[in-house]
Amino acid sequence: MIRGFIVDDEEPARDRLRRLLSGAEMSGSGIEIVGEAADGTDALPQIARLMPDVVFLDIQMPGLSGLDVAARLEPPRPRIVFCTAFDQFAIDAFEHHAVDYLLKPVNRERLMGTLARISGEVDDQRRQVYDLHEQREAERTQARLMPASGTALEGLDCAGTCRPARGIGGDYYDFLQLDADRVGLTIGDVSGKGTYAGLLVAALQARLQALVARGVHDPARILRELNALTVGTMEGHRFATVAFAAYNRAEKTLACSSAGHPPAVIVSGDGSVHLLESTGPAIGWGADQTFGEVTLVARPGDVLALYSDGVTETASPSGDLFGVDGLLRTLRASRHRPAAEIIQDVMNAVDRFSQGAPAEDDRTLVVARIL
């Protein structure tokens, strides 16, 4: 139902228009008169307070004219339908963005047509507002699914960030306490972007968390069971890449497994680099997939970086890619800094490289530094 407000200095004119509009309501056009005013001075504060969808506005009135009222309305402005006995003000009226100009005595059929058009516009506007609200709620919900901070495991400094390209993204990262001495770091990327990808990645994250809670802690086994749970839940052309790394504080080791994800990077304290390639296919392609696992000695000063391809495939205005080389340059230069600052350095470098162009893909980065 749309909300209307009547402004006319003549009470009989207000009464007649109110009756016509009541008839419109009875005929299903759906309008509620939320207020009336006999002059422009009284109308302005009421309109600001009541925020009607449409104002039926006389033009010639004592004090402020209808044109004056229309000119002084503050955003968000209601739609204006001028109702007047004089046709010479029509051009001025439409300069004030009137949606219609009705001559008195107002014709019922013409009024019904105006209401039908306004009702359709208001419904579309409300749907857009609702859709935008739902979009923002989904974005906030997805952001809350990501860890607010790094893990508290002694001897490990880690942090992460996720920047969706379209508000809702298909990337995620997580930190998972495995036991008293082990913590898991994971990153995932579902093919595609937007709401559908966001739904899939939330399900993927929930499955992985459930596996860890059930006591599945070895990276290769986690990916194998995650794949078994995921196969058949996505459309045939969809898939997910996932990397999982488990740091063992007691043994000073880092165990890594990757399902088709871009190579993890380890930068040592002296600046040397080790790339950890994928150890198995993407999640969701086949029911009986197996995944390998690589275990490395973790030394103080080592920096592990897990990233989505939205970081390395960021393009410059000339079409060059930031690439793994751009990532390595920044990691080497920042390797002695805290994990959160390393992430900021990388994302700043990506922004400079693209010269601030909008991201084409989600950009997600996890950094862990051995202390």
Q: Which residues contact 297 (CB under 8 A, 6 or more apart)?
A: 252, 253, 254
Percent of the chain with pLDDT over 70: 96
Residue 173: predicted pLDDT: 95
More confident residue, 323 or 197: 323
pLDDT at residue 151 in the model: 59
- Alpha-carbon distance of 59 to 70, in angstroms, equals 10
Phi, then psi, of 129 in degrees rounded to 5: -65, -45
pLDDT at 279: 96
Whether residue 120 has pLDDT greater than 90: no
DSSP 3-state of 173: strand
With cut-offs at 50, 70 and 90, classify the pLDDT of residue 26. very low
**CA–CA gap between residue 308 and residue 331 (Å, rounded):** 15
pTM over 0.75: no
How confident is the model at residue 322, as a pLDDT?
Answer: 97
Q: Look at residue 129 and tell me whether its pLDDT is greater than 80.
A: no
Q: Is 204 in contact with 242 (CB distance < 8 Å)?
A: yes
Write the secondary structure of 83-138 as one string of H (helix), E (strand) and C (coil). Answer: EECCCCCHHHHHHCCEEEEEECCCCHHHHHHHHHHHHHHHHHHHHHHHHHHHHHHH
Which residue, 316, 309, 310, 313, is CA-closest to 353? 316
**2-137 CATH choice from 3.40.630.30, 3.40.50.2300, 1.10.1660.10, 3.30.300.180:** 3.40.50.2300
Residue pLDDT, tens place only, 233-259: 887 678 999 999 999 999 999 999 999
Q: Which burial class, exposed, middle or buried, applies to 116 when counting CB atoms under 10 A from its CB (0-12, 13-18, 19+)?
A: middle
Q: What is the pLDDT of residue 5?
A: 96
**154 band by pLDDT with thresholds 50, 70 and 90:** confident
pLDDT at 27: 46
Residues of the chain with CATH 3.60.40.10: 146-370
Burial status of residue 268 (CB atoms within 10 A of its CB: 0-12, 13-18, 19 or more): middle
pLDDT at 54 over 90: yes
CA atoms within 13 A on the CB side of 51: 3
What is the CATH topology of the domain spanning 146-370?
Phosphatase 2c; domain 1 (3.60.40)
Q: Does residue 94 register a pLDDT over 90?
A: no
